[in-house]
Structure 1
Amino acid sequence: MRILHTADWHFGKTLEGRDRLPEQAEFVDELCRLCDDERIDAVLMAGDVYQTVNPSAQAEALFYEALHRLADGGRRAVVVIAGNHDNPERLAAAAPIAEVVGVTLIGLPKTPISPATGGPGKVARVAGGPSWLELALPGSDAPLVVAALPYPSEARLNEVLADGLDEADLRRGYSERVAAWFRALSRRFRPDTVNIAMSHLYVQGGLESDSEIQIQVGGAYAVDPLAFPEDAQYVALGHLHRPQAVAGSPVPARYSGSPLAYSFSEAGQTKSVVILDAAPGRPIQLGQVALGCGRPLVRWIAEDGVPQVIRWVEEGRDAQAWIDLELHLREPLSLQETQMLRSLHPGFVHIRPVLPEQEAAAVRATGALPPDQLFRRFFERRHGAPPDDALVQLFLELLAEASAEDDWEALGEEVAG
Structure 2
Amino acid sequence: MSRMLHTSDWHLGHTLHGCPRTDDFEAVLAEIVDIAQESQPDLIVHTGDLFHTSSPSGLSLITAITVLRQLAAVAPTVVVAGNHDSPTYFRFFDMISGPSVGRGLYFVDQFRTAAEGGVFTFDACGGEQRIRLAAMPFVHPNRFWQRPALSTTTADYAEGMRGLQQQLVDAMREGYDPDRDVLFFAAHVYVTGARRAKSERQVSESFEVPPENLPQVSYTALGHIHRPQVVRGPAFQARYAGSPLAMDFGEVGEQKSVVIVDADPGRPIRTEPRSLLSARRLDIFEGTLDKLRADAARYDGTFLKAKISGEEPDVHLAQKIAEIVPNAIAVKLDLDLEPAADILVDVDPVEELELPDAFRAYLGQEGVTGAAADDTVAAFIKLLNEVDDEAPSPVLAEQLLSAALEDVWTETT
Listed one character per residue, the Cα deviations across residues 173-230 of structure 1 (whole Å, up to 9, x for unaligned) are 21122111121111223223110001001111111124335343xx431111121112
Q: Against the structure 1 CA distance between its residues 215 and 324, is the aligned structure 2 distance closer, same or farther, given a 3 Å change threshold?
A: closer
Give the corresponding residue for 2:290: 307
Partner of 1:199: 187
Aligned mates of 1:290, 1:363 — CA distance in 2: 51
Give the number of equivalent residue pairs.
Answer: 340
Tell me which of 216, 219, 229 is aligned to 2:215: 229
Give, in whole Å, the separation in 2 of the partners of 1:53 and 1:254.
Answer: 25
Please provide the CA RMSD for this pair: 2.9
Q: CA deviation at 1:29?
A: 0.6
Q: SS where residue 4 of structure 1 aligns?
A: strand
Code of the aligned partner of 2:278: C
In structure 1, the residue corresponding to 2:121 is in which secondary structure? Answer: strand
Matched, 1:133 2:114: no
Is the Cα–Cα contact under 8 Å of residues 264 and 297 in structure 1 kept in the other structure?
A: yes
Shift of residue 86, structure 1, vs aligned partner: 0.3
Rate the CA distance shift 1:278–1:152 in 2: closer, same or farther, 3 A: same
Residue among 141, 155, 161 paired with 1:154: 141
Change in 2 beyond 3 A, CA 1:68/1:172: same
Are 1:209 and 2:197 counterparts? yes
8 Å CA contact retained: 1:50, 1:86: yes
Show the 5 A alignment for 1:306-325: 306-313=289-296, 316-325=297-306
Would the alpha carbon gap of residues 311 and 142 (structure 1) be closer, same or farther in structure 2, given more than 3 Å must change? same
Which of residues 325, 328, 332 in structure 2 aligns to 1:350?
332
2:318 counterpart residue number: 338
> What is the aligned partner in structure 1 of residue 149 from structure 2?
none
Aligned equivalents of 1:245 and 1:132: distance in 2? 24
Q: How does 1:163-312 map to 2 (within 5 A)?
A: 173-187=156-170, 188-189=172-173, 190=176, 191=178, 192-216=180-204, 219-230=205-216, 232-302=217-287, 305-312=288-295
Aligned with 1:107 (options 106, 109, 120): 109
Q: CA deviation at 1:336?
A: 2.7
Q: What corresponds to 1:76 in structure 2? A: 75
Contact kept, 8 Å, 1:196 with 1:234, in 2: the verdict is yes
Q: Displacement, 1:35?
A: 0.9
Compute the displacement of 1:141 (Å).
Answer: 2.0
- Counterpart code for 1:339: Q
- Percent identity over the alignment? 29
Give 1 or 2 for the bigger CA radius of gyration.
Answer: 2
Query: Matched residue of 1:36: which SS?
Result: helix
d(CA) in 2 for partners of 1:379 and 1:145? 59
1:15-54 alignment runs, 5 A limit = 15-54=16-55
Give the distance between the partners of 1:195 and 1:367, measured in 2 at CA: 69
CA contact (8 A) 2:134 2:168 kept: yes
Provide the residue aligned with 1:407 in structure 2. Answer: none
Where does structure 2 lack aligned partners over 5 or more consecutive residues?
Answer: 147-152, 351-357, 368-413
**C-alpha distance in 2 between matches for 1:214 and 1:198:** 20
> TM-score normalized by structure 2?
0.75
TM-score for the superposition, normalised by structure 1:
0.75
State how far apart, in whole Å, the 2-side matches of 1:209 and 1:65 are. Answer: 29
Tell me how far 1:341 sits from its aligned partner.
1.9
Query: Judging changes above 3 Å, is the alpha-carbon distance between structure 1 residues 355 and 220 closer, same or farther for their aligned structure 2 residues?
Result: closer
Deviations 1:396-415, CA, capped at 9 Å, x for gaps: xxxxxxxxxxxxxxxxxxxx
State the one-letter code of the partner of 2:134. Answer: A
Change (3 A) 1:150 1:329: same
Matched residue type, 1:352 = D
Q: How far apart are the structure 2 equivalents of 1:366 and 1:245? A: 54
Q: Please give the alpha-carbon distance, in whole angstroms, between the structure 2 residues aligned to 1:296 and 1:378.
A: 35
Query: What's the secondary structure of 1:155's corresponding residue?
Result: helix
